[in-house]
Structure 1
């Protein structure tokens, strides 16, 4: 009799817990299913259709859109541009950010103001950043045109030359993300125990040797975190590219290509959807790698 009453009490408690859970988490779960997972699976379905944006009819083509993307010259160019853009922006932001963090980690006058100034571009609107830098790179009226004129040179046609256009957006994106890398590296530098640095000083290890033998290895978790987040950010870059190079012209990264194929002159929504699915899978792999290895922390004790 007591056992039956105990089981009944457990069932009532479980029912109350589930009711409380659904009341609090139910609306969030419904929103996630509606605005994240439903569009995801709908996009996968669209990627198997030959469908132009706005058309009333569409034909099923299976994996033809994926094959076209992986075998066409346009797809190869998208991968090349994405790889160059991602590698250059990630390496540039990390190297310059680390150097800047080392400088800002010293006791210098006004370093708080400098830290704020360095980090501010990261939180600015990409649209505003793109507009300002478009004026800077303008070959006729921009600031850089006056710099080249001072040295007796003509300003390059940044917006017309595909290679120069890619260099231009890489420079802007490194400038925008530099503050983020510097702040994270600075936090990592300040978390290194002073005992280790003092021990290196007692061993008469020079500053350069201490940096490469002591500081840099202890920054490995921070470097890995910045590496993963910078890769994710660079592969999803869009606003700066769209403002500075509206039609691509050598800056067709994979996300920008999704936009151009769907909303540009082609309006190939099915093909665009297949590219976005590929991008989703790449970002998913990078995220899984982060989750798998980010817990490997360095212990200083």
Structure 2
């Protein structure tokens, strides 16, 4: 029996080894290396200079970091609840038995699998101040639309709207799976008691979707704090720093300004921020289930 056990263990190690080596080379070692580097200055050419907590202290006195930090908070505070709410309504609508329902589901999911480059080009055209579709619609109501992506006021809202549209289908799909797991008997019983559509939604659908909503919230929070491609492709963080976020500034610090230690410190501040928020969400969900 021991021989069979060792034989199985050997084959398990052989099959797992390539994955473990890749994980070690491209995940674990870079994470450890970046953490060590966050306590140093390094431009990839000069020798590493140890500065202790110098990068972290500089970070919290950096006006640009403070600005992009609040831009990230605003981005998250708007895109997460709005995206979850709209995707939940869409999931409820697409859970009905209507003709062509599969087509509608695919249509709403298409932006998720579309290239961000293609999405950015389409939305740049929509936001164009001269011939863009959005300003055309506003003009029908006598409203003179702004220069969206070049405006200090409207650049960040424009990026937020694009991000919500891009990720709507993923959250919708998760909610749709959750909805299909709710027994129809609950709705049938509520109808016998005379419950309205709104009452069924708030007293049956929302409570029973609590685990699904929790998962969608956690994933949306993590993704929103890590947003980069939408900002980079649509506005480049401009005008000024009006639409720049933490990951965009991190990228610039590391690969444009060649301050690898400073960028690493920024990455770990972001990591601990996301970690604290995630732990809080888990604690809140656990407490909610207890009561």
Shift of 1:127: 1.7
Q: Is the 8 A contact 1:66 1:274 kept in 2?
A: yes
Counterpart pick for 1:203 among 193, 205, 211:
193
Instruction: Find the aligned partners of 1:185 and 1:154 in 2 and give their Cα distance.
Output: 37
Which of 27, 43, 50 is the matching residue for 2:18?
27
1:109 deviates by 1.9
Which moved further from structure 2: 109-118 or 74-83?
74-83
Q: 1:289: how far off?
A: 6.4
CA contact (8 A) 1:122 1:177 kept: yes
1:231 aligned residue: 221
Q: So what's the TM-score if we normalise by structure 2?
A: 0.89
Matched, 1:217 2:199: no
* 113 and 295 in structure 1: CA distance in 2 versus 1, 3 angstrom threshold: farther
* Contact persistence 1:221–1:296 (CA under 8 A): no
Deviation at 1:229, TM superposition (A): 0.9
Deviation readout 1:257-277 (Å, 9 max, x if unpaired): 21122223x332221111112
- Cα deviations by residue, 1:213-243 (Å, 9 ceiling, x for unpaired): 1221111111111101111111222111110
TM-score by length of 1: 0.86
Match of 2:41 among 50, 55, 78: 50
**How far 1:22 moved relative to its partner?**
2.0
Asked if 1 retains the 8 angstrom alpha-carbon contact of 2:55 and 2:265, the reply is: yes
Query: Is 66-75 or 144-153 further displaced after alignment?
Result: 144-153
2:63 aligns with: 73
Q: For 2:199 and 2:21, locate their aligned partners in 1 and report how far apart those are by CA, in whole Å.
A: 55
Q: Between Structure 1 and Structure 2, how many residues are aligned?
A: 287
Give the secondary structure class of the aligned counterpart of 1:24: helix
Is the CA contact 1:102–1:186 (under 8 Å) kept in the aligned structure 2?
yes
1:47-82 CA-partner distances (Å, limit 9, x unpaired): 111223x43233211111112223433222222111
Return 5+ residue gaps in structure 1 as ranges: 1-8
1:97 CA drift (Å): 0.7
Q: Which among 219, 232, 239 is matched to residue 242 of structure 1? A: 232
SS at match of 1:162: coil
Q: Would you say 1:255 and 2:251 are equivalent positions?
A: no
More divergent stretch after superposition (42-51 vs 66-75): 66-75
Q: What is the distance in 1 between the residues matched to 2:140 and 2:194?
A: 48
Larger Rg: 1
- 2:32 aligns with 41
State the shift of 1:16 in Å. 3.0
Q: What is the Cα-based RMSD across aligned positions, in Å?
A: 2.5
